[in-house]
Amino acid sequence: MIKNLIGFCAIGLLVSSCSQKKASQPSAIESTENELTMLVGTYTNGSNSKGIYTFRFNEETGEAITLDSVEVPNPSYLVPSENGKFVYSVNESSKDQAAVSAFAFDKEKGKLQLLNTQKTMGADPCYLITNGKNVITANYSGGSISVFPIQEDGSLQPASNVIEFKGSGPVKDRQEQAHLHCVRITPDGKYLLADDLGTDQIHKFNVNPDADAHNKEALLTEGTPAAFKVAPGSGPRHLIFSNDGKFAYLINEIGGTVIAFQYADGMLKEIQTVAADTVNAQGSGDIHISPDGKYLYASNRLKADGIAIFKINPTDGTLTKAGYQLTGIHPRNFIITPNGKYLLVACRDNNAIEVYQRSEENGLLTDTKKDISVDKPVCLKLLK
């Protein structure tokens, strides 16, 4: 399944043996520090995937070993709790089956234990976040977002609020209704932004940081303004913030563009639009910034599948095209290791996670050929 697996396991056993004899040995400490736990969400419909898979990934060597898996339907997006003890996953399905699942997580062993599942009351949940007290989902076909208070044992209460959106956009076959694709809490913790692919808007809400399972207070109230509009036919998908919180970047699925914004006090001010998709594939997907804050990466699908690379101007937040890396088929989601050395791409239709080494000097990517085989991978998360 994974190249050089036998050799890596042998080395791992040797290091484990040495660490038992000499716990303070530097090589043993380095090995522990370099090991990450990786969670992989997949599509299970029409594939051989069980659901969520876990791996041990070494961010210095780029090697991975399999840990465990758990059966769950269509966990197409997932997020761990801040302390790593729990994992929350969407179950991307039609309205009657659409749900969110909570798991207890043993990070060292990679084992997940289902705690409970709650209905999202909105079809095809495709994204979720947690602030530690609540889980919020973006429901694509439902055109809504759902809020779930978290109980003390990590399980979820039924949805305390389901906010539905109305409207449409000019691309008739893609924007016939509201399509929520991402929710994100601003760096100051005061607001939640929700990307609506169907209506070319970013909805804004005030966040009540005290809202939890005990006091039953509402987490979200409508913000001012209620939404920020982008160019018609853009199709907003994922939003991220710069490391210093001063800028935000939006990847647009249909328009294939990245929009750069200044961010301050809950306000977004558009400063630049650049093309990530130059072949009009209309399938742009994910967006991330390197840990050093110097480069932005955006994935594209359907044609010329790959990753667009941009250099970030630290002064004004603007982007300059730095390169393009072709990948496997349908790179829906990707992630960068905390040390910035590797970028891992979930290539859904190649049934593989591709591992690229990243240059800190120019941001460009080099395929390590250390592919990790997983059926229909679409979401990656790394935990220290």
Complete domains list, the chain, with CATH: 73-229 (2.130.10.10)
Average pLDDT estimate for 232-239:
98
Sorting pLDDT into bands at 50, 70 and 90, what band is 33? confident
> How much is the pLDDT for 295?
98
pLDDT for 7 beyond 90: no
Rounded CA gap, 266 and 120, in Å?
A: 27
Mean pLDDT of all residues in 141-164? 98
Work out the percent of the chain whose per-residue pLDDT is above 70. Answer: 92
What pLDDT was estimated at residue 95? 80
- 17 vs 159, which has greater pLDDT? 159
Q: Enumerate the β-bridge partners of residue 185.
A: 192
Task: Indicate if the pLDDT at residue 18 is higher than 90.
Answer: no
Q: Give the per-residue pLDDT at 309.
A: 99
Structure tokens that stand for 91 in this block: 């179950």
pLDDT in tens, 186-229: 999 999 999 999 999 999 999 999 999 999 999 999 999 999 99
> Are residues 351 and 331 in contact, defined by beta-carbon separation less than 8 angstroms?
no
* 10 or 256: which leads in pLDDT: 256
CA distance linking residue 230 with residue 260, whole number of Å:
11
Residue 335 clears pLDDT 50, i.e. is over it: yes
What pLDDT is recorded for position 29? 36
User: By C-alpha distance, which of 104, 97, 168, 102 is closest to 139?
Assistant: 97
Percent of the chain residues past pLDDT 90, beyond the cut:
90
Q: Which amino acid is at 220?
A: L
pLDDT at residue 46, as a whole number = 86
As a whole number, mean pLDDT of residues 38-66 equals 97
Question: How far apart, in whole angstroms, are the C-alpha atoms of residue 251 and residue 247?
Answer: 14
Query: How confident is residue 2, by pLDDT bands cut at 50, 70 and 90?
Result: very low
Predicted pLDDT at 19: 33
Q: What is the pLDDT of residue 22?
A: 31
| Mean pLDDT for all residues in the chain | 92
What mean pLDDT do residues 1-5 have? Answer: 40
pLDDT band at residue 15 under the 50/70/90 scheme: very low
Q: Taking residues 286-309, what's their average pLDDT?
A: 98
Chain-centroid distance of CA 118 in Å reads 21
Question: Length of the chain in residues, anyone?
Answer: 384
Which tens digits make up the pLDDT trace of 336-362?
999 999 999 999 999 999 999 999 999
Cα-based torsion angle of the residue sequence 302, 305, 306, 310 in order, rounded to the nearest 10 degrees: -50
Distance CA 240, CA 266 (A): 14
What is residue 3's predicted lDDT score, i.e. its pLDDT? Answer: 40
pLDDT at 154: 98
- List, in sequence order, every beta strand (DSSP E) within 220-351: 220-229, 236-241, 247-252, 257-264, 267-275, 284-289, 295-300, 306-312, 319-326, 331-336, 342-347
CB 345 within 8 A of CB 323: no
Inter-CA distances, 332 with 22, 171, 307, 348, 366, Å: 43, 21, 10, 7, 19
